[in-house]
Structure 1
């Protein structure tokens, strides 16, 4: 029996070896984690946000533009996000309310103060749909894109003759001669028309100023182009209302060349809509508000292009 470890001694030696192996495993795991952390840190310093998963955001503006607080807040959040390297603004819209276009224009201008913004016009980017492209550092359009329509419009209807033939008369009590104009139940007075034309003229001047600033032109240069007509993408390029013919691939190439954002950078859609709106494809509340304001109130002054009907 001599020369052989006693049973208790052999058990102790085995336990010590197991403890040493566990300690070595812990230290090895810590060394691996430290090495990975160092690589990530070095990659972040060398590549900036892209080294930490940086991406572009794509904002698709489609259909009628209305005042949208959730959207402007989402744009502001993207501007603050260190992982967002820039934005592709994809437009297919005939326009919308003047206030809605102005709010979106200002939110995008604020984004562009911090990060690159490029606009891509698709089928239609007219009126307020053109307005929101003005803050972009570069604007691309298709040859056949319908754009421009720099102007504002207020529509109402007047059915006093129809009501008279039906023997119906509408009574209206107002605090002033211009309150309640336009009104579908009585003709627009000369004073009312002059007042509304003044409102539209001021809004139109604001629109022209946005275009002049965005396109690096003077208001005098923009004015002859701002009579409400639409242009094709090719015409708009000749008039310097857009910068180039192309789509999203050309926009990605421009971001790579001018802002060193690789063409392979991932793109994530910016969508602040709620679940119901995403399912339906539109907001019922915005639709009702648009219809009411279009036909019944001064709030319906819009920057929208529409086919004559």
Structure 2
């Protein structure tokens, strides 16, 4: 049955409307994506067009974080950043990681005033990084200190004996690949590791003595691994002031930074909402039927703090409950 002319006209009109709305929907989606990208760039790069105080969070276990080092260098080069707040909440981590961030912060502080604001914890390598700033602010109940270095390795020889496993090895010299979890540690091996630890410890204490108003002997007396509250740390000259972000801004104002400037957090580039590890972990948690806070559990199960290569500067009390 042939279609009437009116029906053909109506159908073509409907097709044109459908095509219009499809194009409109794509245009709206493109505008939304562009707006989201612009917003994320503002968040990631601290709205570089306007003068502001940059805030950088240093949290969790410290390792050699290339992204963080690059971010600190970008802040140093930014003309719109007038001052920097390092918000530190870390138990420490690898000594090499702390050293790398320390050096980058000192480079930054040569061009802009930098203040460290301690949250719950700035221990070991976390405190090392705090000393790279020119002023340290801590809460009265913050945990500060744990100046020292350690190496940890397991001994599974008892387990190997129980399950009947023996290790055969051929090596060029007795100390090669030692200490090993598969052999009892000898006095010679312990002496080698202790010599290495004491050398790094001497360097760490030297940093504290150089950066804080302490003599070498005073810094050494405090570098026995002890931790202190913010109040105690102030008395021992490990921090300069008690308080939070407002006190940090107050110190920046004494260095010529306008205290009324907006404080903008410079986040890691991966913190974009659709790429962030937290967002992905949250999505994975929900897929497994876990609540959103299950993402934190997944992060811990990732083994972030289970194994760290190299010398460690980390506060790690027994049975500690870790949290971000």
Question: Which of 253, 256, 263 is 1:267 aligned to?
Answer: 263
> 1:60-110, CA deviations, whole angstroms, 9 ceiling, x for partnerless residues?
111101101111111011101111111000011100000000001110000
Structure 2 residue matching 1:114: 3-state secondary structure: coil
Q: How many residues are treated as equivalent by the alignment? A: 250
Q: Which residue of structure 1 aligns with residue 60 of structure 2?
A: 63
CA shift at 1:289, angstroms? 7.4
- On the 8 A contact 1:155/1:300 being kept in 2, the answer is no
Gaps of 5+ in 2: 1-48, 282-294, 320-324
Q: How many Å separate the matches in 1 of 2:136 and 2:180?
A: 40
Structure 1 residue matching 2:228: 3-state secondary structure: strand
Q: How many Å separate the matches in 1 of 2:181 and 2:304?
A: 18
Cα RMSD (Å): 1.9
TM-score normalised to structure 1 length: 0.76
- On the 8 A contact 1:92/1:129 being kept in 2, the answer is yes
Larger radius of gyration: 1
Question: Which of 275, 296, 301 is 2:311 aligned to?
Answer: 301
- On the 8 A contact 1:76/1:111 being kept in 2, the answer is yes
Q: How many Å separate the matches in 1 of 2:110 and 2:317?
A: 36
Alignment of 1:139-158 (within 5 A): 139-158=136-155
- On the 8 A contact 2:150/2:311 being kept in 1, the answer is yes
Q: Which residue of structure 2 aligns with residue 10 of structure 1?
A: none
- On the 8 A contact 1:65/1:95 being kept in 2, the answer is yes
- On the 8 A contact 2:88/2:118 being kept in 1, the answer is yes
> 1:113-169, CA deviations, whole angstroms, 9 ceiling, x for partnerless residues?
000001110101100110001121211111111110000111111011221122111
Q: Which residue of structure 1 aligns with residue 177 of structure 2?
A: 180
Q: How many Å separate the matches in 1 of 2:119 and 2:213?
A: 23
**112-121 vs 175-184, which moves further:** 175-184
1:103 and 1:225, CA in 2 relative to 1: closer, same or farther beyond 3 A? Answer: same
CA shift at 1:200, angstroms? 0.5
Q: Which residue of structure 2 aligns with residue 222 of structure 1?
A: 219
- On the 8 A contact 2:137/2:241 being kept in 1, the answer is yes
- On the 8 A contact 2:213/2:237 being kept in 1, the answer is no
Structure 1 residue matching 2:74: 3-state secondary structure: helix
Q: Which residue of structure 1 aligns with residue 166 of structure 2?
A: 169
Structure 2 residue matching 1:133: 3-state secondary structure: helix
1:189 aligns with 2:186: yes
Alignment of 1:56-135 (within 5 A): 56-135=53-132
Structure 1 residue matching 2:277: 3-state secondary structure: helix
> 1:206-241, CA deviations, whole angstroms, 9 ceiling, x for partnerless residues?
111111111032322200100111111111111000
> 1:255-303, CA deviations, whole angstroms, 9 ceiling, x for partnerless residues?
11x123222201221222423435348997xx667644x4xxxx33210
